[in-house]
Amino acid sequence: MKLAPAIGGFFALALSFVPVTAFAQNAGISGSPLPDQPYTLIYPEVMVTGGEAGGPLTINHPAMPLQCVLAVVAVEDTTWTADGALASLDYPVVSEGWNDTLPGFTLGASRVTNYQSNPALQYEGASTGTAENGPVTLVHTETVDTGNGYTLDCFYPTEVAAQARPIVDSIVANFSTRQDAQPVSAMP
């Protein structure tokens, strides 16, 4: 599955550097309003959601510059697997695809991870930053299930990784391509 890396990427450049507050959080849950694009996105309750039916869903953390964007699109390749995607991951092409949105983007680690519902390809990388903004880290996950392609991209300034990454990992672990899922991993 090849989805344009720019989906939600322009939001990453809008991240501002604000003080970070770490605290335990309750879960917020958003489910798809469309029966042919089921999902459940579980995230810290303090995060603010935005988007419209059929379009990307964006969640922003109010106390730190952390943003995640979920996109669901119809796909024809129902033979796609996370293992196959990992084996065929083209590092130069992926890096180039993100470079317009995240200047100086370099692809880092990649692996198969688990959503609550099924395996997903995960890769991460970081930009070199600009004069106005420092380096931004991207954690990208994707999967295909019942004719839909799902991408979940989370962006945060690299300097707040210690606070942001546990939240991102929990969002990924709790994500489901099914409607009405319940949290399986605590929110940090």
Q: What confidence score (pLDDT) does residue 26 get?
A: 86
| Confidence tier at 1 by pLDDT (50, 70, 90) | low
**Could you tell me the residue ranges of all domains in the chain?**
9-15+27-174
| Beta strands across the sheet bearing 48-51 | 48-51, 57-60, 67-74, 148-157, 136-145, 119-126, 106-114
Q: What confidence score (pLDDT) does residue 3 get?
A: 47
At 116-168, the pLDDT tens digits run 999 999 999 999 977 677 899 999 999 999 899 999 999 999 999 999 999 99
Q: What confidence score (pLDDT) does residue 182 get?
A: 82
> DSSP class of residue 176?
B
CATH class assigned to 9-15+27-174 = alpha beta
At 38-88, the pLDDT tens digits run 999 999 999 999 988 778 999 999 999 999 999 999 998 889 999 999 999
- Dihedral over alpha carbons 16, 107, 168, 144 (to 10 degrees): 130
pTM of the shown model: 0.84
